[in-house]
Every structure is written in C-alpha cells, then in structure tokens.
C-alpha cells in the first residue's frame, strides 16, 4: 500500500452545541476546541481525562460507537467524527459537559456539518505519510456480513442494507465522499429504527431520549414519522454516515473503494481492526 502526504486542518475557534442523548436522555453540552494534533475527548474541568478517537479505544459498538478507557466512556461519537473526517479536520479537543453521550440532535449530522462549514480552519502540509492508497483488495467476511476495500483513485463508499422483514427497504448507495457531497447527500440522513426494536432496546436501558423528532421509526405499516424522508434512500445514506465515523477511528485517510453489505457498527469495527493490521 502506497502512502502520500496530505494537508492537515484544525479549528482556530471553538464550536459549541448541545442536546439530548438518544440513549441516556441526558443533556450534554459539547465544545470543539482548537488542538495541535489528534482528536481527543475530554470532560469539562477534568484535565486528567483524555480519550483519543482511535480504533483501539472502542469499548462498545451496540447501536452506536463508544470509546473510552473502561472507566470513562464517550458514546455515540460516530456522527461528529464523520463530520470532522469529511471536512479534513484531524486536530480537535471534544469537550463534554453534563453527560457522556454526544447529542443525537435531529438524528443526523446536518447541524454539525453546517457549523463546520462556517468554521475558521487553519491548514498546513503534514510531514507524515498517513494517507494510504489501496493497491490490493482487502476483504472481511463474517456470516452474512461483508466489508471490503478495493483499489481506486478516489474515496468511495458502496453500502447495501437489507432486512428480512422489510424487503421494501433494501437499499444500495455508491458515492464518492467529498466535503460538499457529505454536506448535501450524507450528513442530513437521520438515524432509524424498527418499531419492534423499541421495547428490547428499552429493556437494555437504551433510547431513553429517542423520539420521532430525532429518529426515523419504521413498522409494518410504514414510516411512523409525520415528516417526510429527506431522501428516498435515507436509511442507507445514514449507514454510510455511520461508516465514515467509524472509519475515522483508523486516524488515516484512505484512497480506496469501500464496500459494505448488511453492516453495522460491530461489523465496521471488526473490519477496521483487521484492516489496521495490514495498513
């Protein structure tokens, strides 16, 4: 695999937002603070807490990606990490106050992408060759789950979703990921669930903050939300959003064509851990 230098970007001024965690139901205030190198999560007033956004720090991937050290964990990090990755920002301190779960907002990354679009960013050429150009296919299989990356001259993601009980929701999307396409075609896609998931998730102590205002909910009768879909294939677009967030945990830019069939956070993380060993 070939490696090339790239331009690094960092914030020059803080970005602030707040909201409710979809799983905890707790309000969390979040600040993106300028940093010199790397992406780290910390707590307001706790200088002893500094968790790097990296694949080795993933501690849970059940209905969201959680990073931490086993004692202090930050959950639902994928949407903000996807946004930072798409904008090429790889140096930031993410400081939380209140809860440890990143707010779900409206279920998408649209608000974060808008804030980053209006942010003042400083750029410089990096001396590290940490952009990887895929030269040979890398394939990961686990039962009916499939992830792979193939050689390409661009960063492309193809994603397929398919659900046995909902054949009408079989969706496939292929897209080259650029900042502009992320903002308009991926970031607005909202998270989703099926009605039959709701009670089991509640029994797990999850979705305490879940509402039809921050999640798409689908049943045998169709979409329960009164607001229309933002895209006909909004579900699979959201999966691509999640995948980009998980991919960012490799801390590398990868030029290649990623293909994911019937994936999810757990499959993403397993694939990326395997891929990391050969990069």
Q: How far is residue 187 from each of residues 80, 114, 117, measured CA to CA in Å?
A: 10, 9, 12
Q: How many CB atoms lie within 10 A of CB 178?
A: 13
Which token pair is 4?
């090339």
Q: How many CB atoms lie within 10 A of CB 45?
A: 8
Give dist(CA 198, CA 11) in Å, integer: 38
From 23, 63, 79, 265, active-site residue: 265
Report the chain's terminal Cα–Cα distance, integer Å: 7
265 is catalytic: yes
Cβ neighbors of 97 (< 8 A, separation 6 or more) are 28, 29, 30, 31, 43, 44
> Where in the sequence numbering do the catalytic residues fall?
265
């Amino acid at each position: 695999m070939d490696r090339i230098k790239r331009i690094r970007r960092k914030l020059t001024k803080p970005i602030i937002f707040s909201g409710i965690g979809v799983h905890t139901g707790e309000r969390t205030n979040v600040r993106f603070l300028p940093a010199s190198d790397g992406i780290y999560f910390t707590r307001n007033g706790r200088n002893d807490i500094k968790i790097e956004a990296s694949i080795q720090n993933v501690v849970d991937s059940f209905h969201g990606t959680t990073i931490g050290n086993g004692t202090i964990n930050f959950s639902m990090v994928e949407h903000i990490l996807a946004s930072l990755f798409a904008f090429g920002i790889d140096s930031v301190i993410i400081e939380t106050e209140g809860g440890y779960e990143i707010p779900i907002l409206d279920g998408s990354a649209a608000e974060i992408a808008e804030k980053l679009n209006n942010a003042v960013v400083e750029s410089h050429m990096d001396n590290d060759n940490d952009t990887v150009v895929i030269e040979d296919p890398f394939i990961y299989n686990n039962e009916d789950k499939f992830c792979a990356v193939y050689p390409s001259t661009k960063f492309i993601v193809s994603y397929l979703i398919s659900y046995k009980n909902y054949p009408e929701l079989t969706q496939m999307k292929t897209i080259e990921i650029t900042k502009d396409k992320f903002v308009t075609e991926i970031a607005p896609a909202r998270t989703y669930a099926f009605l039959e998931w709701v009670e089991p998730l509640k029994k797990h102590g999850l979705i305490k903050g879940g509402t039809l205002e921050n999640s798409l909910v689908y049943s045998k009768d169709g979409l329960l939300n009164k607001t229309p879909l933002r895209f006909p294939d909004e579900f699979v677009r959201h999966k691509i959003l999640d995948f980009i967030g998980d991919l960012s945990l490799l801390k590398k830019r990868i030029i290649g064509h990623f293909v994911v069939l019937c994936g999810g956070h757990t499959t993403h993380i397993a694939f990326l851990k395997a891929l990391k060993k050969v990069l």
